[in-house]
A = this chain, B = another copy of it.
Amino acid sequence: MKFLEDIATGEIDELGSHVFTAEDIKRFASAFDPQPFHLDEAAAEESHFGGLVASGWHTGAVFMQLWTGYCRRRDEEMAARGEAVARFGPSPGFRNMRWLKPVRAGDVLTYRTEATATRPSASRPGWGLLSIAVTATNQAGELVFAFDGTVFLERRPG
């Protein structure tokens, strides 16, 4: 990650895309959210969704998967250029998590973050808090998932 002071409000990071296969949807749901419309095509067709949909927790966990991968790649690029890399984490909490449209088998979700605020931490010297607006859109360009996240981020030393 960049240091807190090096992030401008409005800055957007494109985290990449993820295909929600029927197999992935069922695997996650079997472990954590075994409701019929996440597990079984026939039962899902009978539900008000009219077909298999991903667990909302799955949609959220995939954000984390893409975000950590994005940050790792960027950290490696920064390190390769000889730049100092800021540490980040954990998150004290998220707000306003919204599942706006169903995520169906075969849907491709594209995730991005927008930096909405930075401020020094009162409790952790040398650290600050980065606020981000997280969104995921499907292949039709529809907003399907969003939340407001906050994460501890190291301040630029000195």
A35 and B70 alpha carbons, distance in the complex (Å): 12
Contacts of A31 in B (CB 8 A): 61, 65
A57 and B96 alpha carbons, distance in the complex (Å): 15
- Please determine whether B99 and A96 come into contact, CB atoms closer than 8 angstroms: no
Q: A57-B57, A61-B61, A64-B57 are in contact. Are A35 and B92 (CB under 8 A)?
A: no
- Please determine whether A56 and B96 come into contact, CB atoms closer than 8 angstroms: no
Q: A57-B60, A61-B61, A64-B57 are in contact. Are A97 and B94 (CB under 8 A)?
A: yes
- Judged by a CB distance under 8 angstroms, whether A107 is at the interface is no
A68 and B28 alpha carbons, distance in the complex (Å): 14
Selected from B37, B64, B68, B94, the residue in CB contact (under 8 A) with A89 is B37
